[in-house]
Amino acid sequence: MMELKCWEFMHRSDQGVCIVNPDLEIVYMNEQACKLFAVGDQMLYRQFESIFDKMFQMITTVNTALCNHSGMLIHSAHMIRYNCFSFHQGMKMYLFIAFDDHAVNESTYHLVELTPREKEILQAIAQGKTNKQISTMLCIGIETVKSHIRNLFTKTGVKSRAELIAKIQLDYGTSSFFED
Mean pLDDT, to the nearest integer, of 119-146? 92
Domain of 35, in residue numbers: 2-103
The reply to whether 86 and 18 lie within a common domain is: yes
Among the candidates 79, 103, 127, a domain finishes at 103
CATH of residue 128: 1.10.10.10
Residue 139 Rama label (left phi>0; alpha psi -120 to 50; beta): left
Let me know if residue 111 belongs to a domain. no
The model's confidence at residue 107, banded by pLDDT at 50, 70 and 90, is very low
On whether both 97 and 122 belong to a single domain, the answer is no
- How many structural domains comprise the chain? 2
SS3 85: strand
Q: What secondary structure letter does DSSP report for 65?
A: S
Distance CA 39, CA 42 (A): 9
Instruction: Write the single-letter amino acid at 28.
Output: Y
- pTM of structure: 0.52
E strands present in 122-165: none
- Is 110 a domain residue? no
97 with 146, same domain: the answer is: no
Q: Examine the domain organization and report whether 9 and 70 are in the same domain.
A: yes
Confidence (pLDDT) at 141:
93
Percentage of the chain exceeding pLDDT 90: 13
My answer on whether 139 and 170 are in the same domain is yes
What pLDDT score was predicted for residue 144?
94
**Alpha carbons 119 and 125: distance in angstroms, whole number:** 10
97 and 137, same domain (yes or no): no
In a domain, 108, yes or no: no
21 assigned to some structural domain:
yes
pLDDT at position 108 is: 42
Mean predicted confidence (pLDDT) in 36-62: 77
